[in-house]
Amino acid sequence: MDSSVSVIRRFEDRRAAGEAVATLLLEYSGRPDVTVLGLPRGGIVVAAAVARRLAAPLDALVVRKLGHPHQPELAIGAIATGGILEMNTGADLGRVSAADRAQVIAREQVELERREQVYRRGRPALDLSGCVAILVDDGLATGATMRAAILAAWQFGAREVVVGVPVGHTAGLDALTRPPYRARVVSALRVAALQSISQHYAAFGQVSDDEVGTLMAATRWPGEGRTTREKLDHNPP
């Protein structure tokens, strides 16, 4: 199911983008079985705005793009916490040897584990048992990182997976609704020929680990004040 609305062409910043995404997700507001998960780093800023608007807990689902060894900006795939590996079948993988691919994966795995330690400090291990997991990023281009995040969310026990992005490539968004991903997708803006996510923002600066930590500390985390049984027993409207 796709509930996209193409009404916004340019966002002031990630916070404003999060407000736009939250407007499309108001049916999940106040529900005890909902968890909002941002894809660090930029996605956390968007997700924090969504979590505040929905009165939902915020957490991070760490993913890392696998850049082409000779063209790092080109994603050949992605990894996510939980041992998820997702490759872009449409990428030019023929020029990437198995050894080069393994090297890229190993390098990004080190950074993924570092971010896991930083962002999970003081928080329990990620557990989405019985949850509606709303995955949020600041945009979707090839979709590799979001596909990896969706698979991780299912692996961590989510009952339903919803993807919310301010702007996304039409084909990439559509792919998320099909098996094995089976996510509901909402996007404030769908672009058939997406050149870059940043062109749809007035301000699109780098986000630091400190900023991510501050946003997460200011928002309650999953499980705080509720139990897994309460999540499982909730009957959606």
For residues 94 and 163, the model is more confident at 163
| Per-residue pLDDT tens digits for 57-98 | 999 999 999 998 888 888 899 999 999 999 987 656 667 888
What's the rounded mean pLDDT across residues 13-24? 97
CATH number corresponding to 14-61+125-233:
3.40.50.2020
Rounded to the nearest 5°, which phi and psi values hold at 37? -120, 120
Domain extents in the chain: 14-61+125-233
User: What is the per-residue pLDDT for 224?
Assistant: 59
> Is a pLDDT exceeding 80 seen at residue 4?
no
For residues 223 and 207, the model is more confident at 207
> Is a pLDDT exceeding 70 seen at residue 6?
no
What's the rounded mean pLDDT across residues 138-150? 96
Average pLDDT, whole number, for the chain?
89
Whether pTM > 0.85 for this model: the answer is: yes
User: What is the per-residue pLDDT for 127?
Assistant: 94
What's the rounded mean pLDDT across residues 213-227? 73
For residues 191 and 93, the model is more confident at 191
Q: For residue 173, give both structure tokens.
A: 């968004």
| Per-residue pLDDT tens digits for 105-122 | 999 999 999 999 999 887
> Is a pLDDT exceeding 50 seen at residue 229?
no
For residues 32 and 97, the model is more confident at 32
> Is a pLDDT exceeding 60 seen at residue 5?
no
User: What is the per-residue pLDDT for 94?
Assistant: 63
- SS3 assignment for the chain: CECCCCCCCCECCHHHHHHHHHHCCHHHCCCCCEEEEECCCHHHHHHHHHHHHHCCCEEECCEEEEEECCEEEEEEEEEECCCEEEECCCCCCCCCCHHHHHHHHHHHHHHHHHHHHHHCCCCCCCCCCCCEEEEECCCECCCHHHHHHHHHHHHCCCCEEEEEEEEEEHHHHHHCCCCCCCCEEEEEEEECCCCCCHHHECCCCCCCHHHHHHHHHCCCCCCCCCCHHHHHHCCCC
What's the rounded mean pLDDT across residues 147-154? 98
> Is a pLDDT exceeding 80 seen at residue 227?
no
> Is a pLDDT exceeding 50 seen at residue 233?
no
> Is a pLDDT exceeding 60 seen at residue 99?
yes
